[in-house]
Amino acid sequence: MKCSATETVRKFYAQFASDDQVLVLINADPDAIASAIAVKRLLWRKVASVTLSNINIIKRPDNIAMIRLIGTQLTHISQIKADQHTRFVIVDSQPDHNKLFQQFNFDVIIDHHPQTNSEAPFKDVRPEYGANASILTEYLKAAKIKPSAKLATALFLGIKTDTHDFERQTLIEDIRAFQFLFRYANMHLVRRIELADLTPDFLKYFEIALRTRRIRKQKAFIHLGKVQNPDICVIIADFFMRLNNVNWSIVSGCYKNMLVIIFRNDGIRKNAGKLAKQSFAAFGSAGGHKSVARAEIPVNNLEGAATVQDDHAILLWVMRCIERSTKRRKPKVQKTV
């Protein structure tokens, strides 16, 4: 039986004591950042301290602008000492999503991505929701907490971003949360964050993408080579979805020892998360939603490891893997006697 919002929040609070040092871990994007800030607000004056920590390097201009303008303090995981914390929370992700998460035993998991095998004393996973921020907004309402303008703005942006302005999968609960937050959010801050300018060092990746792109059957394939941060793959993938003859955008880049592949589609075609899994789960981690997905593959797992330094060969390998998984088997013709 599904718990009421009030009962869910009561169970959430039951995981903590007044002397707890809480660590909230995220893979930072607008929805994750907003969710983490909401958790911190929920635990205000209920625990000894709350630290927000990101596992990724934040370089996307909108994320940087959001953190700066909302006034959020994030500590990178490399600076975290686990033994200084007594409770561990993960939001907008699950431990199986990244190896960096797996070094922690989580007391609380709150997420809206498809269910994995991860377990915790408190686990609230709702894959039908369009944004994790919608879930945390329900927690705030159930706890009778009126969000500050900055918290409301962050949650508002989290919903807006993860639902792609309600063009992606959403529930009526996402819309209700959005309407509730609209009363308190600062629209001037929303516009400033959404219109954050690209930094000059991102421009070279647009040049690479325009020069090396392959468009086949309305799918745009791009490999950017080595990237400063995987977020640039997301920016390029979103950019190519604006072309009128493209309904799939698949962008890859090598970051450290991983090949990161970002999937975008128009929400009408085959499920992006399923395509990512079918194409790349055998080589690394892969998954996502109907219109957005991601795969991360250790470069040592690529077929033909000798070609890792060859950007063109990697692009062809990505295309080949996807084409293999989408190729339909011809139905067998039954002979009539």
Mean pLDDT of 151-160: 96
Cβ–Cβ < 8 Å for 160, 191: no
Task: Check pLDDT > 60 for residue 223.
Answer: yes
| Token pair listed for 326 | 């989408």
What is the per-residue pLDDT for 266?
Answer: 83
Helix (H, G, I), strand (E, B) or coil at 195: coil
Structural domains in the chain, sorted by start: 5-194 (3.90.1640.10), 200-326 (3.10.310.30)
Cβ–Cβ < 8 Å for 6, 140: no
Cβ–Cβ < 8 Å for 125, 94: yes
Task: Check pLDDT > 60 for residue 332.
Answer: no
Mean pLDDT of 107-118: 93
* Per-residue confidence band for 335, with pLDDT thresholds at 50, 70 and 90: very low
pLDDT in tens, 43-99: 999 999 999 999 998 888 888 999 999 999 999 999 999 999 999 999 999 999 998
Of all residues in the chain, the percent with pLDDT exceeding 70 is: 93
pLDDT in tens, 161-215: 998 888 776 889 999 999 999 999 999 899 888 877 667 778 899 999 999 999 9
Order the strands of the 87-91 sheet from edge to edge: 75-76, 49-54, 21-26, 87-91, 108-111, 122-125
What is the per-residue pLDDT for 165?
Answer: 80
Reduced DSSP (H G I as helix, E B as strand, rest coil) percent helix, strand, coil of the chain, to 5: 40, 20, 40
